[in-house]
Chain A
Amino acid sequence: GAVVSQHPSRVICKSGTSVKIECRSLDFQATTMFWYRQFPKQSLMLMATSNEGSKATYEQGVEKDKFLINHASLTLSTLTVTSAHPEDSSFYICSASGGGTAQHFGDGTRLSIL
């Protein structure tokens, strides 16, 4: 089946640090990648949609200057949490879709800001 790799799996860093998370589709070309955020015992909330070669589309209430998304190729999208603060601590998950197929998810990144 489709494989989506997300790295790193866990990050612990100080407040004010910027953190970059990578999402790669390993065996298919992902025309669209998505970034989600999940708080404990809650569902996934879509943050933004990323299409290769174009600017990301952010959901209402998500700060685009806080969460920078780059989708430079058909196999790689990155999410950078800029100047992270404790309230940004969460589980961030990417997904990838190619040519109208169902979304396949990475294994997530646990971000902890001290």
Chain B
Amino acid sequence: GQQLNQSPQSMFIQEGEDVSMNCTSSSIFNTWLWYKQDPGEGPVLLIALYKAGELTSNGRLTAQFGITRKDSFLNISASIPSDVGIYFCAAETSGSRLTFGEGTQLTVNP
């Protein structure tokens, strides 16, 4: 099936640092999304991207839909302790179904 390769798998950073993570695929997608999941909870939508080349911000978060439609990245600026969690990229396939990346575990040290 269609797979998303998400990297890095985990990150350990200091508070205040910027973070970047990305997803790539061999398949073309029309929609890319980024979610954050805290332990024991469902994923929360951070940013949705619907157009190739689109760059969208949500507060300290910025995400881009790659021009080839095969990749996307998420940047977090000036990280804070509450940014800790698992970040998932997701891409929409036929029938509005989502395929998810493997996740990036983010740890922020105060």
Contact = CB atoms under 8 A, between A and B. Distances in A.
Interface of chain B, main secondary structure: mixed
A67 interface: no
A105 B42 contact: yes
A57 B44 CA distance: 24
Contacts, number: 53
B104 to A, nearest CB: 11
Interface stretch (B14-22, B59-67, B68-76, B90-98): B90-98
A107 B40 CA distance: 8
Interface of A: 1, 4, 6, 32, 34, 42-46, 49, 57, 93, 95, 97, 100, 102-108, 110
14 contacts: A34-B98, A42-B102, A43-B100, A43-B101, A43-B102, A44-B88, A49-B95, A93-B42, A95-B98, A102-B45, A103-B33, A105-B44, A105-B45, A108-B42
